[in-house]
C-alpha cells in the first residue's frame, strides 16, 4: 500500500521534496500563497521558487493545512525553523495518531534552542520524528540532477520504510539513527557558509575558503558531539557533505548572505531582498548560546555573530581570527 504524503511549505526545498515523493506516493503540498497553489495544480510549476522546473502531474496543492494533512500517512514539514512550531500547532488537530513527522528545516529555535524533532516531540508526543538532510540544493534536484540525502530517525524500521517515499533513481536516500548529529550538522553548517561567503565576497581566495570550511567542520563537530551527536555523522552527508555544498554553491542562501556582507553591504538590506530564509542568520544567535552553555570554543561562528549582530565588519572578523594563537590542529582556533 502506498503511503499518502502531506507536505507543509511551498518554498524551493519543500516543493522539490514534494516533487520527489509525488513520484512514489500520492502527495499533497500546502502553500500560503493561493497563486502558488493554483500554479502547481494548473501548470505544474512553482516559478517563484523553482523557475524552469516542471513538477509531476500527480502532485496536488491545497490551500488549507487541514486538507493537506488530515488523510496523510506521513507529514513533511518544509517550514523554516522560526515558524516551525506555529505551523505544527496549527496542523496538530488534523493529524491522525502515530503518523511520522519529518522535518526539512536546518535551523534551531530562538529562545528554546530546540531542534525541530524536539519541537515535534513536545507538540505531538507519540509521533515518530525524523529529519531529511544532506547536501541538497533544491534547484539542481528539481531539474533532475543526482544527489544524496539522509533520513535520520531513532527507529530504524520506520526510517527504512520511509526511504521508499523519498528515494528516486537520481535521489539516493541513506538511513541514520543519529538524529541529533544529523540535525545539528544541517543547522551549524549554515553559519560556516556565511563565513565562507564573507571570504568570497571580500576576494580572500581559495586557500582562505578551504581553511574556513575545514576549521568550520572542526567547530561544528566539537559542538555537535558535545550535544550528543556521533563524530562519524559529521564526516558524512549530513555534516561534511552538506557543509561543502552550502559553502561552495552560488545557490546557497547562507553563502549569498555572507558574500554580500563581504562586499560591504548591510545585513538588513540583504535579508530584505531575499525571497527565502537564510537559516544561519538567526541560528547564529542560538549557536553562540549553546557554545557558551557547553563551553565549546567556536571562533569562526563567534566572528560571524559579531558581524551579524554587533556591527563588526568582515575585515574585523578576519583580523579577529588571525589574532588567535595557533596551536595543534586538534585544538580550537
Q: CB of 8 within 8 A of CB of 69?
A: yes
User: What CA–CA distance (Å, rounded) separates 221 from 225?
Assistant: 6
Q: Is 66 tagged catalytic?
A: no
Using alpha carbons, select from 127, 135, 100, 94 the residue that is nearest to residue 25.
100
First to last CA, the chain: 53
Cα-based distances in Å from 86 to 82, 121, 195, 280, 286: 8, 14, 30, 20, 19
User: What CA–CA distance (Å, rounded) separates 77 from 253?
Assistant: 19
- Number of other residues whose CB lies within 10 A of the CB of residue 160: 12
User: What CA–CA distance (Å, rounded) separates 243 from 246?
Assistant: 5
- 19-46 core/surface letters (b: 16 or more CB in 10 A; e: else): bbbbebbbbbbbbeeeebbebbeeebbb
Q: Enter the DSSP assignment of 94.
A: G
Using alpha carbons, select from 156, 140, 199, 238 the residue that is nearest to residue 317.
199
Cα-based distances in Å from 85 to 39, 123, 263: 27, 8, 35
Annotated catalytic residue, options 189, 266, 306, 323: 189
**Going by DSSP bridges, is the β-strand pair 27-30/171-176 parallel, antiparallel, or unpaired?**
unpaired
Q: Tell me, letter by letter, the H, E, C secondary structure of 155-201.
A: CHHHHHHHHHHHCCCCEEEEEECCHHHHHHHHHHHHHHHHHHHHHHH
Phi/psi at 22 (5° precision) = -65, -20
What residues act catalytically? 189
Amino acid at each position: 500500500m502506498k503511503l499518502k504524503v502531506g507536505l507543509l511549505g511551498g518554498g524551493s526545498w519543500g516543493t522539490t521534496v514534494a516533487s520527489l515523493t509525488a513520484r512514489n506516493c500520492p502527495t499533497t503540498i500546502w502553500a500560503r500563497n493561493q497563486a502558488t497553489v493554483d500554479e502547481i495544480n494548473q501548470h505544474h510549476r512553482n516559478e517563484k521558487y523553482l523557475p524552469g522546473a516542471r513538477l509531476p502531474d500527480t502532485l496536488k496543492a491545497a490551500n488549507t493545512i487541514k486538507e493537506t494533512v488530515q488523510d496523510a500517512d506521513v507529514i513533511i514539514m518544509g517550514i523554516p525553523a522560526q515558524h516551525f512550531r506555529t505551523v505544527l500547532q496549527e496542523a496538530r488537530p488534523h493529524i491522525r495518531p502515530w503518523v511520522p513527522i519529518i522535518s526539512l528545516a536546518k535551523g534551531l529555535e530562538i529562545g528554546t534552542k530546540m531542534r525541530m524533532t524536539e519541537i515535534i516531540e513536545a507538540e505531538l508526543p507519540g509521533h515518530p520524528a525524523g529529519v531529511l538532510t544532506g547536501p541538497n540544493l533544491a534547484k539542481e534536484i528539481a531539474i533532475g540532477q543526482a544527489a544524496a540525502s539522509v533520513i535520520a530517525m531513532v527507529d530504524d524500521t520506520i526510517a527504512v520504510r520511509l526511504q521508499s517515499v523519498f528515494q528516486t533513481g537520481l535521489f539516493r536516500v541513506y538511513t541514520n539513527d543519529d538524529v541529533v548529529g544529523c540535525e545539528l550538522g544541517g543547522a551549524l553548517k549554515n553559519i560556516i557558509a556565511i563565513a565562507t561567503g564573507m571570504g568570497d565576497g571580500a576576494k580572500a581566495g581559495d586557500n582562505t575558503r578551504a581553511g574556513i570550511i575545514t576549521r568550520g567542520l572542526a567547530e561544528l563537530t566539537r559542538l555537535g558531539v558535545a550535544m550528543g551527536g556521533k563524530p562519524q555523522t559529521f564526516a558524512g552527508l549530513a555534516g561534511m557533505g552538506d557543509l561543502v555544498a552550502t559553502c561552495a554553491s552560488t545557490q546557497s542562501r547562507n553563502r549569498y548572505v555572507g558574500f554580500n556582507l563581504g562586499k560591504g553591504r548591510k545585513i538588513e538590506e540583504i535579508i530584505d531582498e531575499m525571497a527565502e530564509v537564510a537559516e544561519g542568520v538567526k541560528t547564529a544567535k542560538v549557536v553562540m548560546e549553546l557554545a557558551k552553555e557547553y563551553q565549546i570554543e567556536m571562533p569562526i561562528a563567534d566572528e560571524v555573530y559579531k558581524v551579524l549582530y554587533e556591527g563588526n565588519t568582515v575585515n574585523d572578523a578576519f583580523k579577529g581570527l588571525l589574532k588567535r594563537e595557533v596551536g595543534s590542529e586538534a585544538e580550537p582556533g
